[in-house]
Amino acid sequence: MRTIAELETAARRRLAPAHYDFYAGGAGEEETLRANEEAFRRRVLVPRVLRNVGKRDLAVELAGSPLSMPVLLSPTAFHRLAHPDGELATARAAARAGTVLVVSMAATTAIEDIVAAAREVTDDPALWFQLYLQPDREFTKAVICRAERAGVKALVVTVDSAVFGKRERDHRNGFLDLPPELSVENMRDDTGRVRDIEMPAELTWTDVEWLRTISGLPILLKGILHPSDARLAVEAGVSGLVVSNHGGRQLDSAVSTMDALPAVASAVDGAIPLILDGGVRRGTDVVKALALGASAVGIGRPALWGLAAAGTEGVTEVLEGLREEVDRAFALCGAADPAGLTAELVR
Ligand SMILES: Cc1cc2nc3c(=O)[nH]c(=O)nc-3n(C[C@H](O)[C@H](O)[C@H](O)COP(=O)(O)O)c2cc1C
Ligand SMILES: CCCCC(=O)C(=O)O
């Protein structure tokens, strides 16, 4: 099995340079992009021993969805730029691994087809749907109803994108839109026209309340870094948070997610599950995040590298490689299950 770094090299060889840069890049100086990975490297593990780790169980449950391991696929745009099978390939790999795929609102495949691909693999796949609440509420509602009818199990509202981050690689490359043969299929309105995704600058907590009145699905907020916002999210009754800086693609100089996690975890105090994403590349990264208060982690770019390198098989390589590393790291840290990972293991 190849490492994520090796899959990135393979992906880079296959992708058009502008598409590679779109996936790999971040905002501004890319300080936050680098900081996410660096924050893992800076922390070391202080393992416990003699704890009988002969039988290990990596499974977790999040917002009503079972995961075979504490790793899920964070939402990423435009999978058909990476591979002709696009989101269908990603969904099959997630279903095969028994984990959640968060489908991006900017997916290049219709949600009904994505769910169908996952159902070829397993009866009851866990697909969540990420959205940017659009200024047109009736349209937003229609998109949510469509995703619900298709069978998604939770909604993930991205809240770190009041405006679009400035990705300077994309500006330099002139990559500002999808090629004409691809479109964001879940943005079709009832006339069949594909709408542009608008970044919702006017969003407030009132909109989160509104969302709770129109959907019975669990709602998670993605892009929380400040402990005060985490407290407000608990009060708003959401089912979980994604501690995320959008992979360094929105506010450059934003705190790395591992540096943000402890304060958010202490603010939430176990009331709702936390998912951390940004810079997770190794099983030991997963262990560090769980030890400091996450219930699971999300991966963004690694899945895109697997997808570009080898479609479903490539994403499977990423997920199974991580599973093997997570399992080994649990054992070597003296933890038989996620509850066995505590803050004393990390320095
Ligand atoms: C190419 C790309 C596209 C992304 N598209 C979305 C998106 O549509 N919606 C969203 O909420 N986050 C999006 N993200 C952010 C990811 O969900 C996630 O927060 C981030 O990739 C995690 O960092 P990592 O790539 O280091 O794992 C995107 C990230 C990348 C790299
Ligand atoms: C309108 C596409 C949004 C994609 C996104 O969120 C990202 O590239 O980070």
Q: Could you tell me the two tokens for 324?
A: 């093997």
Q: Does the annotation flag 135 for ligand binding?
A: no
185 close to 110: Cβ distance less than 8 angstroms: yes
Distance CA 140, CA 143 (A): 5
Q: What is the pLDDT along the chain (347 residues), one digit of tens a residue?
A: 899 999 999 999 999 999 999 999 999 999 999 999 999 999 999 999 999 999 999 999 999 999 999 999 999 999 999 999 999 999 999 999 999 999 999 999 999 999 999 999 999 999 999 999 999 999 999 999 999 999 999 999 999 999 999 999 999 999 989 999 999 999 999 999 999 999 999 999 999 999 999 999 999 999 999 999 999 999 999 999 999 999 999 999 999 999 999 999 999 999 999 999 999 999 999 999 999 999 999 999 999 999 999 999 999 999 999 999 999 999 999 999 999 999 999 99
> Is the C-beta atom of 323 inside 6 A of ligand 2?
no
User: Judging by DSSP bridges, how do beta strands 60-62 and 65-67 pair with one another?
Assistant: antiparallel
Handedness of CA 105, 109, 115, 119 (dihedral sign): negative
Range of the domain at 8: 4-345
Give the active site residue among 19, 79, 83, 246. Answer: 246
Return the residue matching tokens 């909109």. Answer: 207
Query: Which tokens sit at 265?
Result: 């975890």
Name residue 206's amino acid. Answer: T
Q: Is 249 in the pocket of ligand 2 (CB under 6 A)?
A: yes
Closest ligand 1 atom, CA of 277? 22
Number of domains in the chain: 1
- Domain holding 264: CATH number? 3.20.20.70
Three-state secondary structure call for residue 252 = coil
The answer to whether the CB of 153 is under 6 A from ligand 2 is no
d(CA 276, CA 294): 6
